[in-house]
Structure 1
């Protein structure tokens, strides 16, 4: 890898990305293979990161962007050319980024990948650069930008504004990776389009083909991949509970039949994920809830025409105290938790709650304790809140 490192450093020198350094700092470079088969040089900045004060500039929430982008007619994705290298760093900070190579010590003139505060810095710069076009139909997550909309002309106007902003601020767009006026695009690890949000097929295949983990790190990695898809998975917390038990402090990674069942059930759930639809302005929202001894499961749906379509699944585990609650308390908590989770959808709209337990009667007869406090929380939604007793709760497809 010596030749590859020398080649990349010399190219970075020509581009002005790095410069020779006399710093007291010296991080070690490593290589990871890209999907294209090329090699990416990654600097080990763990020592530097440990001594840095965290930058609190907020990164957007991925699912906020996905929900707002879903359901549009046209999509354009705009790829930045080495987005991190578009933002210079202060002179006094450059020596901190120094890294050692066989041909000398070098430091970055621009934001390097791998430094703890780099994502916050690039997000700040991108927000400032593209502020005129960001909004309801244009989103930026670090250096990934999507412009979408139902009207061709309005999308085109924002697309035409993008290179103008690049020229003003010194950013560079990579045209060969940008997509133009598609009905669906890959964005933030998902496929977002006119129909809604769905899982990338490649991610599904990777998880379904995964072998049983043989180490704690392997299990953590597998659960991390699956956790990214939990809004698509019914009862994710219940399904994964046996696997997370193996990661508890002091637990031995000893695979039992319960763990194998959970592992296979999780892969099956990933394989059978459905499209999560975009909400419409007029459809009635439906929240379906259920509680087990382990935790809560919920599904947000909406009536669109004559069909009820899924918008998002959600779940959470009970803590030891909550597991001691009786059935009525667990079921009531499930309703409370789901409403609070999706309050942005239902707070100003008529909606229905479906549960397999007759909680409404119990709610109205209690005037003390935590259930009474939950009843007060429900009153914020009255009279739009109705309960229906159902036997089948949270079907996979909605």
Structure 2
């Protein structure tokens, strides 16, 4: 705790008045403060060979020699700031590990088997609260599922305000299809800024989707169900919308160099030669 701020944590017990000298669990601003502190301390290493979320620190390296050096730098920095690590909770020189609900290896990033088991065993939601819980967990892995937004549309419709919660065969089919898609989710390849990016887009009557690839391997999927207004657009316009969505979402990866867009609509390949006459163009 900052000097002079300890009184804000004061509490009374039968044995007297107490104040925390260090930040405890449960304070409203504790998570944000702790994350900010970790980001500040590890700032010189972040995104170079360290990732951190709260007290979970991930060190990644190309070779074992680099890994040893990175660990030495990290542990030295933690020691300088009087931060301690518990050896029993540390894993060193791992080729595969689980981190924040993902399994990371040299092959790429995969979903955590234990989390997917929880989704697979999820019973039919009986109310909006249970449905929100399911979609919240499933949505965490939406980048692994092609057309996630389209598949889940019948379910998300139940979350709309003033909508009667009625579980129909269409909702059940969407529920089961989403669970199946998550169980069969592919391993996403690791991003490499030395390789060119490719975007593939498609559109259907009620949704749009796109995929970010390198060397033909998917890095992430993106999709969105369309509302009534956008459903009325032509296929040409929906494909335009899919491209805009993809470029906006993945702009940090794409803006550094040229990239390729693969589309189903041949007409879009002549967009540069056309006179712009519609808002979508």
TM-score, normalising length: structure 1? 0.65
Q: Which has the larger radius of gyration?
A: 1
Deviations 1:181-232 (A, max 9, x none): 0112111221112111100100111101110011211111111000000010
Q: Cα deviations across residues 104-131 of structure 1 (Å, max 9, x unaligned)?
A: 6654332233333222211222123333
Alignment partners' CA distance in 2, 1:315 and 1:136: 30
Correspondence for 2:76: 164
**Residue in structure 1 matched with residue 243 of structure 2 by the alignment:** 335
Give the direction of change, closer, same or farther, for the CA distance of 1:350–1:212 in structure 2 (3 Å limit).
same
Root-mean-square deviation (CA, aligned residues, Å) is: 2.2
Residue 366, structure 1, aligned to residue 275, structure 2: yes
Give yes or no for contact 1:240–1:266 (8 Å, CA) kept in 2. Answer: yes
Q: Pick from 139, 148, 157: which aligns with 1:227?
A: 139
The farther-off stretch of 317-326 and 262-271 is 317-326
SS of aligned partner of 2:136: helix
Say whether 1:294 aligns with 2:202.
no
Q: Is the 8 A contact 1:89 1:111 kept in 2?
A: no
Return closer, same or farther for 1:214/1:96 CA change in 2, 3 Å cut-off.
farther
CA distance in 2 between partners of 1:162 and 1:367 (Å) = 54
SS in 2 for 1:370: coil
Counterpart in the other structure of 1:213: 125
1:22 is matched with none
Distance 2:128 2:9 in 1: 32
Report 1 or 2 for greater relative contact order, CA contacts < 8 Å, sequence distance ≥ 6: 1
The structure with the largest strand share of the pair is 1
1:248 aligns with 2:248: no
Distance 1:104 1:186, change over 3 A: farther
Aligned 1:102-251 pairs, distance under 5 A: 106-251=18-163
- Between the two proteins, the alignment pairs up a number of residues equal to 280
Deviation at 1:279, TM superposition (A): 2.9
Deviations 1:348-367 (A, max 9, x none): 44433222222325623232
Structure 1 residues 361 and 173 mapped into 2: Cα distance closer, same or farther (>3 Å)?
closer
Q: Note closer, same or farther for the CA distance 1:258–1:134 as it changes in structure 2 (3 Å cut).
A: same
Give the TM-score normalised by the residue count of structure 2: 0.90
- Alpha carbons of 1:205 and 1:176: their partners in 2 closer, same or farther (altered >3 Å)? same
Residue among 254, 257, 261 paired with 1:353: 261
- 1:283: Cα distance to partner? 3.9
Runs of 5+ unmatched residues, structure 1: 1-87, 373-398
Of 56, 79, 91, the residue aligned with 2:4 is 91
Task: Give the SS at the match of 1:140.
Answer: strand
* Whole-angstrom distance in 2 between the partners of 1:132 and 1:328: 47
Q: Is the 8 A contact 2:236 2:268 kept in 1?
A: no
